[in-house]
Amino acid sequence: MKKLNIKTKSFLLMSAFLLALGTVNAQDKPAQSAEELAKKLANPIASLISVPFQNNTDVGIGAFNGSRNTLNFQPVIPISISEKWNMISRVVLPIISQQDITAAGAKETGLSDAVVSAFFSPAEAKNGLTWGVGPAILVPTATDNLLGTEKLGVGPTAVILKQTKGWTYGALVNQIWSVAGNNERADVNQMYAQPFLIYNWKSGAGVGSVFEITQNWEANSTSVFFMPTVSGVTKLGKQMVQLVIGPRIPVSVPENGRPDFGIRALVNFVFPK
């Protein structure tokens, strides 16, 4: 498949997906409390429309002491498909600006590849336990070949979690293999895992700990970051938002991509119905 064809099909896929999501309404009850919203926001597959903007800044990267800022646009929209089942659609579209990463004095800015996921999940949790499974699709939306893989990829994704007495703990995982794209680029064979532990108070404030583990089977490399966070649910005017901040701590990262330190900040626009 030619590079132009794969990119055209990728953008059409993304456009059709987002257009379909725009026709869906949430099924949540009105006037939810900060405690209820915080509990749902701790659950990656809750029946709640949210639009997070997650910003990750890392400095002191690699041989050229580079820096990278990644703004992840991550809309989450639930779709009720029956009385017993929901489909939770998630998109992660990174917007990257990096300096001195690929070479001294080099700068790249633009979109990276998107990951589109759909979790099929029971509408009601049992004893606080819920789960979801479905497909994950790697879409080559990168506007610079240094910011993406130039590959279309597919694979499974799953999440399982339990919520009890203010606590939320569980894990999200996906595995993606490339199936088409530029034959001159390396194949994609990558697993992503995100174990998490969060505690929320009745005020909507919370503390959390998140690990992000990326295993590149093709390159035989593993990256592990740890993010302790503090969070809160509040209003900006009439808009409900969640605010999250914390350091990004490199636990085990290959030397050529390891930052000295990083920070994560998130603004999550919430649309309860």
Which pLDDT score is estimated for 256? 86
**Residues 61-75: tens digit of each pLDDT:** 999 999 999 999 999
**Residues 47-66: tens digit of each pLDDT:** 999 999 999 999 999 999 99
| C-alpha–C-alpha distance, residues 35 and 38, integer Å | 5
Which pLDDT score is estimated for 14? 53
Single-letter code of the amino acid located at 228: P
What is the average per-residue pLDDT within 197-219? 97
How does DSSP assign 65-103, residue by residue?
A: TEEEEEEEE--EEEEE-SSSEEEEEEEEEEEEEEESSSS
φ, ψ of residue 237 in degrees (nearest 5): 70, -120
For the chain, which residues make up each domain, given as ranges?
Answer: 3-271
Q: C-alpha dihedral over 135, 140, 142, 148, to 10 degrees?
A: 90
| C-alpha–C-alpha distance, residues 35 and 32, integer Å | 8
| C-alpha–C-alpha distance, residues 268 and 146, integer Å | 29
The CATH number of 3-271, from 3.30.950.10, 2.40.160.40, 1.10.357.10, 1.20.1440.120, is 2.40.160.40
Lowest mean pLDDT among 22-36, 84-98, 106-120, 227-241: 22-36
CA angle, corner 156, sides to 194 and 56, nearest 5? 35
**Residues 144-185: tens digit of each pLDDT:** 999 999 999 999 999 999 999 999 999 999 999 999 999 999
- Residue 3 in this model has a pLDDT that exceeds 50: no
